[in-house]
Structure 1
Amino acid sequence: MQSKSFSARTLDANALKSFAHPLRLRIYELLDEHGPSTATGLAALLGQNTGATSYHLRELARHDMIEVVPGMGRGKEKYWRIAPGGFSFGEPEEGDPETASALEVVLDDMVRQRGAELARWREEEATAPEEWVQASVFGRRSLRLTPEETRELQDEVFEVLERYRALSDRREREPAAPRDPSIGHVVIHFDVLPVGVGRATPPPREEAPGEAIP
């Protein structure tokens, strides 16, 4: 049984290789975190020149990762936002090391971002509004499942997430209006992974005094 796709787009090899660029990954992260911004605004946050951010924004837009916000900006000024719907990526084809390397870069950045978001919330939690503290959760479960059951679990959780993603996307598409102050930027981390089924690289053995490692 194959897992369903709940994303609006699946990155092909060209899109994945384009996305696997440190500055584009950071631009995408900033747009997701802070909302719509211009090339000039992003350049200030990144310590880059506007020409560089404009180029990378166009590259992200070329692969439908971001889009121009209608009705925002004056004259030729463009505000960019994350394209609603999210994205996914499949396994690279055999014999395509460049795409496989790009996937590694993107996955490693996702792990980094998860850790940074969790650490930041641990710092902010003490001063956050009580309603948000009560609404947040750190969760972990350890289960004994077959691969088929694990895929079913994925699909069921993503079906729930899809309902709320659609609600969020509708809000993003609404014409510019005063934002409801009760609406916050909520991040959901959902990882499903088996433990101990692959071969991990053993840690290097420490040499005891007077002992030579063969």
Structure 2
Amino acid sequence: MDFFAKIGLHVTKSKSFSARTLDANALKSFAHPLRLRIYELLDERGPATATGLAGLLGENTGATSYHLRELARHGMIEVATGMGRGKEKYWRVVPGGFTYGEPPSDAEAASALEVLLDDLVRQRGTELARWREGASRAPAEWVEASGFGRRSLRLTAEETAELRDQVLEVLERYRTVSDHREPEPAEGRDQPTGHVVIHFDVLPLGALPEDDPA
């Protein structure tokens, strides 16, 4: 997902980052197609109501309200204060992000984690394809600021972990900047902000057995 979080979700043993780790119950609750999509929409588009999300998803408001409450129960989202009228609630992604943490021993939670990781791969493919297909129509300054990257290196496991943590520290710095940025009308900004997604993977493919079917 957002998942340095979407975006931030990452699987790491490092304790130097402020994102909280989802427990087994949160993993099992989050691994639901509609909740994943609701979280994705809130992350991409910003605060929204159950009614607005229902319209985007083709669901009824009762269903989106229920799933919003479930996401909130596990600290994934929260009510956006200062928005809405009367009993109308706008929901937003909780700042700070979260991690999946270590593979859980609970079999049901472990299965949920597999679902979440598969969805993360799906989302990344969708976002990469979306940008590749639409970049020619984006403002020039954003195209110039974007980038695709791939590196193939020969490293030890220790060097790989060090590289991962150093990159995550840079991402954490900019996530903090993003989380503390107050919303303001586009016309009031000297430099308008936009929804920026960063994909970062560390894949020690050389460590896989030679007969791995992948």
Secondary structure of the 2:110 match is helix
Query: Which deviations, in whole Å up to 9, do the C-alpha atoms of 1:151-207 show, x marking residues without a partner?
Result: 111111111111111110001xx3x5324362111000000010132246437xxxx
* 1:113 paired residue among 108, 114, 123: 123
Cα offset, 1:6, TM superposition? 1.9
* 1:163 paired residue among 173, 177, 180: 173
Query: Which deviations, in whole Å up to 9, do the C-alpha atoms of 1:109-162 show, x marking residues without a partner?
Result: 000000000000011111111101100000000111111111111111111111
Gaps of 5+ in 2: 1-12
Q: Distance in 2 between matches of 1:7 and 1:47?
A: 35
Q: Distance in 2 between matches of 1:187 and 1:134?
A: 15
Secondary structure of the 1:196 match is helix
Cα offset, 1:91, TM superposition? 2.5
In structure 2, the partner of 1:150 is 160
In structure 2, the partner of 1:183 is 193
- Does 2:148 align with 1:138? yes
Q: Distance in 2 between matches of 1:165 and 1:18?
A: 25
Secondary structure of the 1:156 match is helix
Q: Distance in 1 between matches of 2:163 and 2:208?
A: 21
Q: Distance in 2 between matches of 1:98 and 1:59?
A: 18
| Mapping 1:47-126, distance limit 5 Å | 47-94=58-105, 96-126=106-136
TM-score (structure 1 length as normaliser) = 0.88
Secondary structure of the 1:32 match is helix
In structure 1, the partner of 2:207 is 197
Gaps of 5+ in 1: 204-214
- Does 2:39 align with 1:28? yes
Preserved CA contact (<8 Å) 1:64 1:83? yes
Look up the equivalent residue of 1:134 and give its one-letter code.
E
Query: Which deviations, in whole Å up to 9, do the C-alpha atoms of 1:23-63 show, x marking residues without a partner?
Result: 00000001111111000000001111101000000000111
Cα offset, 1:7, TM superposition? 4.0
Give the 3 Å change call, closer, same or farther, for CA 21–5 of structure 1 in structure 2: farther
Give percent identity, aligned residues only. Answer: 76
Q: Distance in 1 between matches of 2:43 and 2:16?
A: 21
Cα offset, 1:5, TM superposition? 4.4
Which moved further from structure 2: 38-47 or 176-185?
176-185
Q: Distance in 2 between matches of 1:99 and 1:198?
A: 24
Q: Distance in 2 between matches of 1:8 and 1:129?
A: 32
Cα offset, 1:12, TM superposition? 0.3
Q: Distance in 1 between matches of 2:213 and 2:131?
A: 33
What number of residue pairs does the alignment pair up? 198
Secondary structure of the 2:122 match is helix
**Structure label with greater radius of gyration:** 1
Q: Distance in 1 between matches of 2:17 and 2:200?
A: 14
Preserved CA contact (<8 Å) 1:7 1:88? no
